[in-house]
């Protein structure tokens, strides 16, 4: 939005803001974001100067480009790792805002190259089919099963699906065992970590009257 100042002679455009906007627009022409949508463009940088010489123009949120309605996000900003660190961080985030790739760049040319690399990676991922971690196993259906389909087919297939990435670790599984006061079977723990969390489908099974009473 163009800033305006109220004066006695009417309203006039703030040229300093216009110059900043035009400068950012020119700078963004250095990059090709492909199918990405720029949702934040605050790259107030001079390509001919070092980042240290334009420290006041550096900020944590300088560029955000969205792909596939946020499934992937390209994020550029100044997040110093130590005093006197003027590098910019280039990062690709996933659907759940987990970092997928991260680089630190010290020059404008490095920034351009890493953004190009990030855009190529994202477009490659966009062409892949949706990945769903699934584990399934078939069990013999008991004669007493209340499901007619199970009895006819003679088996029950149980699938274990991860509904969203949880980065399940052995430490997380052990914590659950401690809180519940139980020891989970080793095979179950392998499935949980293989599928990165999730749960079984179906998660409930019909029982006949004898099973309910037992």
Distance CA 101, CA 89 (A): 10
**104-140: b (≥16 Cβ within 10 Å) or e:** ebeebeebeebbeebbeebeebeeeeeeeeebeeeee
Say whether both 75 and 146 belong to one domain: no
* pLDDT over threshold 50, residue 10: no
Which of residues 126, 147, 170 is at a domain's end? 126
Same structural domain for residues 59 and 104? Answer: yes
Q: Which domain holds residue 185?
A: 134-213
Predicted confidence at residue 6, as pLDDT, reads 41
Residue 83 is predicted with a pLDDT of 92
Give the pLDDT of residue 114: 96
| 181 within 8 A of 196, measured Cβ to Cβ | no
pLDDT at 132: 52
pLDDT tens for 129-155 read 765 555 666 667 666 655 544 554 455
Contact 157, 149 (CB under 8 A): no
**For residue 12, is it within any domain?**
no
Within 8 A by CB and 6+ apart from 142, the residues are none
φ, ψ of residue 6 in degrees (nearest 5): -85, 125
Could you tell me the pLDDT band of residue 204, with boundaries at 50, 70 and 90? low
| CA-to-CA dists, residue 92 to 40, 81, 103, 182, angstroms | 15, 18, 9, 39
Of the three residues 72, 95, 126, the one that is the final residue of a domain is 126
146 with 97, same domain?
no
Give me the pLDDT at residue 121, please.
95
Instruction: Indicate if 119 and 138 belong to the same structural domain.
Output: no
Is 183 among the domain residues? Answer: yes
pLDDT of amino acid 164 = 58
Read off the pLDDT band of 96 (50, 70, 90). low
What pLDDT is stored for residue 189 in this prediction?
83
What single string gives the DSSP state of each residue in 39-55?
EEE-----TTS-SGGGG
Rounded Cα distance, 15 and 5, in Å = 10
Residue 3 within a domain:
no
Asked whether residue 125 carries a pLDDT value surpassing 80, the answer given is yes
Token readout for 67 is 């792909």
Q: What is the pLDDT of residues 28-80, one digit of tens each?
A: 777 899 999 998 888 888 899 999 999 999 999 899 999 988 889 999 999 99
3-class secondary structure, 86: coil
> Would the pTM count as exceeding 0.95?
no
Q: What is the pLDDT of residue 131?
A: 56
Mean pLDDT over the full length of the chain: 76
> Looking at the domain assignment, is residue 144 inside a domain?
yes
**Residue 36 and residue 108 in one domain:** yes
In a domain, residue 25? The reply is: no
Q: Please check whether residues 83 and 149 belong to one and the same domain.
A: no
- Distance (Å, rounded) from C-alpha 167 to C-alpha 18? 45
Of the residues 103, 126, 149, the one at which a domain ends: 126
Ranked by mean pLDDT, which of 5-9, 59-63, 103-107 comes out on top?
A: 103-107
Count how many domains the chain has: 2
């Amino acid at each position: 939005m163009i800033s305006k100042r109220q004066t006695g002679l009417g309203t006039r455009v703030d040229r300093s803001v216009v110059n900043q906007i035009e400068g950012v627009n020119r700078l963004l022409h250095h990059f090709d974001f492909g199918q990405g949508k720029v949702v934040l463009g605050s790259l107030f940088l001079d390509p001919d100067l070092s980042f240290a010489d334009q420290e006041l123009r550096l900020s944590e949120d300088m560029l955000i480009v969205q792909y596939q309605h946020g499934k992937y996000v390209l994020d550029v900003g100044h997040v110093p790792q130590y005093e006197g660190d003027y590098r910019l961080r280039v990062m690709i985030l996933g659907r759940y805002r987990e970092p997928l790739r991260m680089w630190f760049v010290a020059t404008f040319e490095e920034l351009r190259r890493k953004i190009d690399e990030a855009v190529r990676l994202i477009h490659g991922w966009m062409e892949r089919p949706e990945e769903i971690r699934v584990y399934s196993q078939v069990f013999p259906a008991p004669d007493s099963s209340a499901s007619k389909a199970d009895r006819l087919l003679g088996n029950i297939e149980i699938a274990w699906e991860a509904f969203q990435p949880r980065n399940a670790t052995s430490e997380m599984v052990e914590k659950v065992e401690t809180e519940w006061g139980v020891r989970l079977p080793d095979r179950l723990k392998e499935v949980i970590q293989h599928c990165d969390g999730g749960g079984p489908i179906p998660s409930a099974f019909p029982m006949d009257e004898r099973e309910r009473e037992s």
